[in-house]
């Protein structure tokens, strides 16, 4: 017997999986940080970037294909099943192509932020975009305390707050990156523009300084 998962369980499971992925990416992050300290510039080798991409791809795809779950999902008693199949046994089996597509589609969240996952509030079965594209569904092995409800207000709140700012930040980051084989550099001037995109008004501080100087 399987049940629709609660949102907080999926969030905790996702956090655990992201921590594991971060652990395997740590050597690359350390190299990038050390290079920044030594040369005062942000750069990453294309091979390191590919490695970071493959870490997530292999972890999610192989975990889902062989075990129908990940470390985080298993800890929270969650499982990924296929929405195909004539019977429950078939539906519980996820194909390699589904596992791969689910992992790849999940990477789209880099461009859309948390709004990508918040689409789960639009369905009673708590599926989001990655589930829709791969025809999969996350289920819980434990019953819920209450039936899930569609939460339009919560979904649109996340979209309004995060969607536009995430797209804008991603576009600014793309402009700041410079490809000079075999490294990818972050242009400092564009990076400063990106940081200045956060609208804080410090004009009042300059006015105070001028006022004091006049006295």
pLDDT of the residue at 108: 80
pLDDT of the residue at 85: 59
pLDDT of the residue at 18: 94
Choice between 190 and 214, residue whose per-residue pLDDT is larger = 190
**Residue 131 included in any domain:** yes
Which one, of 19, 105, 106, 77, lies nearest residue 69 by Cα? 77
**Residue 37 included in any domain:** yes
- Rounded-to-integer distance, Cα 70 and Cα 80, Å: 9
The mean pLDDT of the chain is 80
**pLDDT grade, residue 3 (50/70/90)?**
confident
Quick one: tokens of 7? 């949102």
pLDDT of the residue at 68: 93
**pLDDT grade, residue 197 (50/70/90)?**
low
**Residue 15 included in any domain:** yes
Quick one: tokens of 106? 């999940």
Choice between 180 and 49, residue whose per-residue pLDDT is larger = 49
* Separation in Å, CA 49 to CA 29, 36, 45, 122, 203: 10, 16, 6, 34, 40
**Residue 168 included in any domain:** no
Most confident of 65-69, 83-87, 188-192: 65-69
**Residue 180 included in any domain:** no
Q: How many helices (H) and strands (E) does the chain have?
A: 11, 5
Domains contained in the chain, number: 1
Q: Assess whether pLDDT exceeds 80 at residue 15.
A: yes
Q: Assess whether pLDDT exceeds 90 at residue 66.
A: yes
Burial of 103 (0-12, 13-18, 19+ CB in 10 A): buried
Domain carrying residue 65: 7-151
Burial of 50 (0-12, 13-18, 19+ CB in 10 A): exposed
**Residue 210 included in any domain:** no
Burial of 184 (0-12, 13-18, 19+ CB in 10 A): middle
**Residue 63 included in any domain:** yes
Quick one: tokens of 19? 């921590």
**Residue 92 included in any domain:** yes
Q: Assess whether pLDDT exceeds 60 at residue 198.
A: no
């Amino acid at each position: 017997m399987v049940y629709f998962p609660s949102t907080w369980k999926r969030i905790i499971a996702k956090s655990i999986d992201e921590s594991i992925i971060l652990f395997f990416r740590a050597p690359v992050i350390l190299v990038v940080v050390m290079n920044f300290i030594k040369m005062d510039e942000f750069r990453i080798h294309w091979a390191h970037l590919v490695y970071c991409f493959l870490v997530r791809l292999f972890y999610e795809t192989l975990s889902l294909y062989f075990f129908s779950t990940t470390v985080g999902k298993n800890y929270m008693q969650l499982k990924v099943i296929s929405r195909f199949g004539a019977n429950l046994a078939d539906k519980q089996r996820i194909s390699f192509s589904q596992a791969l597509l689910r992992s790849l589609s999940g990477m789209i969240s880099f461009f859309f932020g948390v709004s990508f996952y918040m689409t789960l509030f639009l369905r009673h079965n708590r599926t989001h975009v990655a589930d829709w594209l791969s025809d999969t569904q996350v289920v819980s092995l434990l019953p819920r305390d209450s039936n899930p409800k569609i939460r339009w207000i919560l979904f649109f709140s996340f979209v309004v707050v995060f969607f536009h700012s995430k797209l804008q930040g991603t576009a600014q980051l793309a402009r700041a990156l410079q490809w000079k084989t075999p490294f990818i550099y972050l242009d400092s001037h564009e990076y400063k523009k990106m940081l200045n995109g956060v609208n804080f008004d410090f004009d009042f501080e300059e006015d105070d300084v001028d006022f004091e100087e006049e006295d």
